[in-house]
Structures are given as structure tokens and as C-alpha cells.
Amino acid sequence: MAAIINQWAVITIVLSGIALTAGVFLIRSGNREAHMRAMLIASALATLFLVLYLTRLGLGYEKKYVGPEQWRGAYFFLLISHILLAAANLPLALGALWNAWKGLRAAGNLGNIGAPAARPFFNRHRAWVRWTVPVWLYVAATGWIIYLVLGRYGEVVKG
């Protein structure tokens, strides 16, 4: 069961990365409503990933690297940077979402985000996402790489 949960976790984070990328493209195209939907989907999928990932760990399903020794250092560098940035990504994403939500509430609708009451929230939202998006994409991409590496060079640890 844990192996299936692990596969669904990977699917959700891949879809989250795709939705995140679409959301960035949509806001750069000026489509605020579609951007908001894409980012809510990305956030929901990332949340589902976290639930699945923690469930998998709770079930004792882990893999350890047993691949070529000359790749071990690179693998652990990738893994450690992934873990540290994944931990940082949660508060970054929450800060970005919080400011977007507060800005939308102050504006009343997406067509009114330039309103004086909303502007500070959307300015903070943009400041947060300058860090959140690259960190989120790095965490997603390195997670996919780690999954693929462990698929080839991983051994299940019985817990």
C-alpha cells in the first residue's frame, strides 16, 4: 500500500509543478482569474502531496540510496538541498497565499486589485512569490529526480 501511496504522491507533486508553471505563465499573460485558479490547484495538489508523503513515512516506507559510490556525494547534496528548501517552501507558500487572499478580500474582486486598500497586500504577495516560485520549482524538480534515482538505485528500508 505504501508503494502505491508513494506513486500517487509523486503524481500529485508533478501536477502541482505543472499547475505552478501554468499559474506563472497566466499571470504574466495578464489572466488574473486563471492564475488564481492555477495557483489554488497547485497549492491543493502540494498539500495532498504532503499528506500522502507523511502517510507513506508513517507506514514505514523509505528507500535508501544504494547506487554507484561515485554518485553518492552528488545524490546527498541534492537530497539535503531538497529537504532544506522543502521545509522553507511551506512558510513561503503560506505567506504568498495569505497576502493574495488578504489583497483579494480588500479589493473585493480581481478587477479591483489596484485599490489602495488592496495594493499593499498584492505588493507583499509579489515579493513573497519572487522567492516562493523558484524554491517550489527547485523542490519539485529535485523531488522528481530523487524519485527517479531511488527507483533505479534505491532499496526499501523495512521500518
Which of 112, 125, 110 is closest to 33 using CA atoms? Answer: 110
Model confidence, pTM: 0.89
pLDDT of residue 1: 87
How many distinct structural domains can be found in the chain? Answer: 1
Whole-angstrom distance, CA of residue 92 vs CA of residue 97 = 9
Res 28: pLDDT: 96
Residue 73 belongs to domain spanning: 2-158
Whole-number Å distance between alpha carbons of 133 and 90:
11
Residue type, 65: Y
CA-nearest of 94, 113, 93 to 30 is 113
The grid cell for 37 is 485558479
Q: Which pLDDT does position 142 carry in this prediction?
A: 94
pLDDT tens, the chain, 159 aa long? 888 998 999 999 999 999 999 999 999 999 999 999 999 999 999 999 999 999 999 998 899 999 999 999 999 999 999 999 999 999 999 999 999 999 999 999 999 999 999 999 999 999 999 999 999 999 999 999 999 999 999 999 875
Helix (H, G, I), strand (E, B) or coil at 31: coil
- How much is the pLDDT for 159? 59
Contact 132, 100 (CB under 8 A): no
DSSP, res 139: H
Element at 20 (helix H, strand E): helix 2-28
